[in-house]
Amino acid sequence: MSFRTLKLIDPLLRALDDLGYDDPTPVQRQAIPAVLAGRDLMAAAQTGTGKTAGFALPLLQRLTLAGAVAPLGVRCLVLAPTRELAEQVYGSFRRYGAHVPLRFGVAYGGVPIEPQAAKLKKGLDVLVATPGRLLDLQRQGLLTFAQLETLVLDEADRMLDLGFAADLDAVFAALPPERQTLLFSATFPDAIRALANRLLRDPISVQASPANAAAKTVRQFVVTTDKKAKADLFLHLLRTRGWGQVLVFAKTRKGVDQLVDVLQGEGIAADAIHGDKPQPARLRALARFKAKDVQVLVATDVAARGLDIAGLPLVVNLDLPTVAEDYVHRIGRTGRAGAEGEAISLVCADEVELLRAIETLIRQVLPRSEAPGFEADHRVPSTGNAPKAAAPAPRKPVPKARPMPASNAPRPAGGFGQAAQERAKPAQPRVPKGAVVVAAGRGAKSAAEAAAKTAVKATSRGPKKR
């Protein structure tokens, strides 16, 4: 099936040709005819499935073929949870609508409101906005919804996660009840289903990919280490494995800034995106990364759903996310549009429950390895997510075989995607009972100190009274 068979008009087909898009993705094949027909839509679509084109193309066609916008008016409203996603969707509308006579705008907080208000004076065919800034514009009388034909909720689950429920209710109350509503969400918890039941009229349901499934084009691995060693381990892997551009996710804003400081101190071009950064600085960091002026971009989950970076080869989780679904969105920044990608998570013992939740969600056990010199002092326990083996059938006793001679063949080197090889342990000499033995290696110093403290405590207690 081609885009032409979906009955798109020539200006849109020309834009798709300019972008090198040949065949529609599954979500586009299902969504475009439904939106063209004016139907409400409830779509389960993961990041990277082409869902933006799935609603942007048919909406551009409908807006082009009928009507004109009045001053301060908006004909199509797209709500997005973050500034980054709003910019991404706005950019997509501009690219797909390059050959149609429509006006587009974007509005979000963190930047002056005046330029956004100025653009609204003549009216906009498509406005992409975050809920808070949209309400600011509406309450100041800088836009009206009298002409609104279509409402799109993009990443609806994320909007509820970020606490926009009250803002969304205020927006819905201001919109005309007669409209087309399209709801796109990566997950469908009860709150999203309740929202859909309230807003949508006889919707068509679209399931673009299995819920919470990681892209099959992304190879996923875990490297275990200690928490304090993560920054040094990342720097080691960056150098020894010859990584090019890398998008790194950290849990906190402080963690983002600390890693950027370490990288810049080593002469590596790095920049940051997080909630404390003003929006112009965030957009500048992303633009520098896309232009390959920055090798490593470090971000919090504010960027987990809003970054569309063509050809990004690698995502690294310096910390695992506290919400398992965010893992799927993080690694969805690579392996997009059918390309291959890699996702590597640096995991410490404190994160085993987070890892277990992620593996349960994506229904697979991630292969583990260690980097020599960065082995964990605090072992990362098994998640227990490995499939249980069936009980072996009883076997008849067999004669004992003679022991095979030990092999001198070297063990295969470990690496990402391979099971970690068990280390050979040298035989330990017998020692007198009660003696304290301190073995050299990682953790030796702390073991010796613990043994000494135990001995001092036992001596101070004196003989046990009867």
Tell me the backbone φ, ψ of residue 62, rounded to 5 degrees: -65, -40
d(CA 39, CA 302): 32
pLDDT > 90 in the chain, percent = 55
Q: Which residue has the higher pLDDT, 57 or 212?
A: 57
pLDDT reported for residue 409: 39
CA 368, 372, 373: angle at the middle one, nearest 5?
125
Amino acid letter at 383? T
- Band the pLDDT of 84: cuts 50, 70, 90: confident
pLDDT at 28 over 80: yes
d(CA 36, CA 39): 8
pLDDT reported for residue 329: 81
CA 145, 120, 183: angle at the middle one, nearest 5?
50
Tell me the backbone φ, ψ of residue 44, rounded to 5 degrees: -95, 105
Contact 225, 375 (CB under 8 A): yes
pLDDT at 463 over 60: no
Structure tokens, 182: 């399209």
Dihedral sign (CA 276, 278, 279, 285): negative
For residue 342, list its beta bridge partners.
219, 314
Integer CA distances (angstroms), 220 to 100, 215, 223, 328, 331, in order: 41, 10, 10, 11, 9
The mean pLDDT of 169-173, rounded to a whole number, is 94
Which of 64-73, 411-420, 434-443 tops mean pLDDT? 64-73
pLDDT at 444 over 60: no
The mean pLDDT of 319-343, rounded to a whole number, is 83
Could you tell me where the beta strands, DSSP code E, fall in 80-186?
104-107, 124-129, 150-153, 180-185
pLDDT at 266 over 90: yes
pLDDT at 286 over 60: yes
Structure tokens, 204: 């068509």
pLDDT tens string 116-131: 999 999 999 999 999 9
- Band the pLDDT of 164: cuts 50, 70, 90: confident
d(CA 208, CA 50): 10
Q: Measured in whole angstroms, how far is the alpha carbon of residue 422 from the centre of its chain?
A: 32
pLDDT at 340 over 50: yes
Amino acid letter at 391? A
338: closest CA among 24, 5, 16, 18? 24
Q: How confident is the prediction for the chain on average, in pLDDT? A: 82
CA dihedral 233, 378, 381, 329 (to 10 degrees): -30
d(CA 361, CA 356): 9
pLDDT reported for residue 232: 95
Helix (H) or strand (E) holding 422: none
Range 4-207 classified under CATH 3.40.50.300 = yes
The mean pLDDT of 348-373, rounded to a whole number, is 93
Which of 42-56, 260-274, 325-339 tops mean pLDDT? 260-274
Could you count the other beta carbons within 10 Å of the beta carbon of residue 423?
9
Lowest-confidence pick of 37-51, 99-113, 221-235:
37-51
Q: Which residue has the higher pLDDT, 8 or 311?
A: 8
Segments making up each domain of the chain, as ranges: 4-207, 218-369
pLDDT at 223 over 60: yes
pLDDT at 427 over 70: no
Q: Measured in whole angstroms, how far is the alpha carbon of residue 334 from the centre of its chain?
A: 9
Strand order, beta sheet including 180-185? 104-107, 124-129, 74-79, 150-153, 180-185, 41-44, 204-207
255: closest CA among 281, 283, 227? 227
Structure tokens, 51: 């869902």
| Contacts by 273-277, CB closer than 8 A, 24 or more apart | 273/84, 273/297, 273/298, 273/299, 273/300, 273/302, 273/303, 274/299, 274/300, 274/302, 275/300, 275/302
4-207 and 218-369, same CATH topology: yes
Estimate the crossing angle of helix 10-19 against helix 83-96, to 10 degrees: 120
pLDDT reported for residue 405: 37
Contact 93, 60 (CB under 8 A): yes
258: closest CA among 327, 323, 319, 342? 319
d(CA 373, CA 232): 11
For the chain, the 3-state helix, strand and coil shares in percent, each to the nearest 5, are 40, 15, 45
Integer CA distances (angstroms), 162 to 158, 261, 302, 307, 382, in order: 6, 28, 10, 17, 32
| CATH no., domain 218-369 | 3.40.50.300
